[in-house]
Amino acid sequence: MASVLKLTDVSIVRDENTILDSVNWTVEPDERWVILGPNGAGKTTLLQIAAAAIHPTSGTADVLGEQLGKSDLAELRPRLGFASSAMARRIPRNEKVLDVVMTAAYAVTGRWNEEYEEIDERRAHRVLNEWNLDHLSERAFGTLSDGEQKRVQIARAVMTDPEILLLDEPAASLDLGGREELLELLGGFASDPRSPAIVMVTHHVEEIPLGFRNALLLRKGGVVAQGVIDTVITSEKLSDTFGRGIDLTESDGRYSARASVAAES
């Protein structure tokens, strides 16, 4: 099966600053990737390329087999699922949760008739159920907790049955319980072979769900390391990425990290 993402020597330059620097990266359909790096490293910019929202300044980016800059993006975008807080801000606060999820389908079908309405509504209810949201389907989006809103964003992103799911910091701002509930759901989704390829940006190794087996570390627009997660998420490589000593611990597939304690002199 063809790669869902293939970036070759991709650079992005803005205001004479190189935000991404010769990135080479391939994502296969059955892969789940986590992207980690400090503030300003270029993580969101990389995700925007994957979402076909921006083109490389140089190099080539193929998204779902279509080369950016040479393809009709209007046809490409419905095949991508994207959840980010920037997108969430565009959801009207008074919109019913069921509608927030279901309208994702209208953007794809571009039509509205009884047949589609029924199919879409059934699928929306199924997706809401999968993300523990069925009891909230009639609630206004703006009345939900942060954790519930994050799950609605993901439910909306998967509503169209995308070929790749892109998540920009899905666990940001969640309390411990909300984070763990989300990670459990994401872990289950990632472990399901029927799920699409997934790329998730995060700031914290604690937010890596089970089932994510690949990682890419970014620093100042450059790739520090990428590949199988346990060869990439290491104390040494995280220290290189964040520019300070980091001690990593791993337990049952979950990670935690803290600054190294300076050695006693």
CA distances from 14 to 84, 146, 218, 220 (A): 22, 32, 18, 13
Q: Shortest gap between Cβ of 7 and ligand ATP (angstroms)?
A: 14
Q: Is 14 in the site for ligand ATP (CB under 6 A)?
A: yes
Q: Shortest gap between Cβ of 168 and ligand ATP (angstroms)?
A: 8
Helix, coil or strand: residue 17: strand
Q: Which is nearer to ligand ATP, 43 or 123 (CB)?
A: 43
Q: Which is nearer to ligand ATP, 17 or 251 (CB)?
A: 17
Q: Which is nearer to ligand ATP, 99 or 169 (CB)?
A: 169
Give the span between the Cα atoms of 229 and 125, in whole angstroms.
34
Sort 175 into a burial class: Cβ within 10 Å, 0-12 / 13-18 / 19+: exposed
For 136, the token pair is: 């909230």
Among 5, 7, 10, 19, binds ligand ATP (CB under 6 A): 19
When computed from its CA atoms, the radius of gyration of the chain, rounded to whole angstroms, is 19
| # binding residues, ligand ATP (CB under 6 A) | 11
For 45, the token pair is: 């910019």
**Which residues, 38 to 67, sit near ligand ATP by CB under 6 A?**
39-45
Q: Shortest gap between Cβ of 205 and ligand ATP (angstroms)?
A: 14
Which residues of the chain form contacts with ligand ATP (CB under 6 A)?
A: 14-15, 19, 37, 39-45
